Amino acid sequence: MIDLNDQVVRGYLTRLVDNDGLIMIERMPEGEVTDEQIAEASEVLLNVVRRTLFTLSENKLATCKRERDSSSGWLTYLWHLDMTDIEPQLAKEKKKLTRNLKIRLDFEEDNVFYVCPDGCVRMFFNDAAESEFLCSICGEDLIFQDNTDFTKALKMRLEAINTK
């Protein structure tokens, strides 16, 4: 079973299924169980349990088996957590995050920005020059924004991700 105390795993699952979904995962009974049994055991609302199960299934972290009751004809869905595919999912998320951070870093390094001191707008140099370095919302003078600290933070974050 996956270590639900791992900060990376918890963060990924929380982002995927919210806090209630994470509670459901932590309290889910072993084996194949119905959504009603999961809701009862986890004390999470049935609609949240169902939404969480479908999200987990879409992400290949839960499996579902359908059984038909021979006497009534009703279908019963039996759910089972299967977290064996979480490592590839985390690797895919890491790759996507790295790509997005690199795009943002390139954007920040390739542009010059001016901002309103009141926080109304952030503009490219050309747009600021076009507006005569005045805020289009409040009319204040725009000031140069030194984004060196932000680009350093992006680089540090990228380095931290790539060393893990």
**pLDDT, tens digit, 9 for 90 and up, residues 96-139:** 999 999 999 999 999 999 999 999 999 999 999 999 999 999 99
> Among all chains, which residue has been given the structure tokens 């795009």?
103
What domains can you pick out in the chain, each with its CATH number? 7-85 (1.10.10.10), 88-163 (no CATH)
In this structure, the chain runs to a length of 164
Q: Which two tokens stand for residue 29?
A: 């009974």
| Amino acid found at 61 | L
pLDDT band at 50 (very low <50, low <70, confident <90, very high): very high
Task: Give pLDDT tens digits for 53-92.
Answer: 999 999 999 999 999 888 888 898 999 999 888 988 888 9
Cα dist. 21→7, 51, 52, 130, 134 in Å?
A: 16, 8, 6, 49, 48
Q: Are 31 and 80 in contact (CB under 8 A)?
A: yes
pLDDT band at 7 (very low <50, low <70, confident <90, very high): confident
| Neighbouring C-beta atoms of residue 38, cutoff 10 Å | 22
Q: What is the pLDDT of residue 133?
A: 96
pLDDT band at 1 (very low <50, low <70, confident <90, very high): low
3-state class (DSSP) for residue 83? helix
> Among all chains, which residue has been given the structure tokens 């982002």?
15
Cα R_g (the chain), whole angstroms: 24
Whole-number Å distance between alpha carbons of 79 and 131: 59
Task: Give pLDDT tens digits for 137-164.
Answer: 999 999 999 999 999 999 999 998 888 6
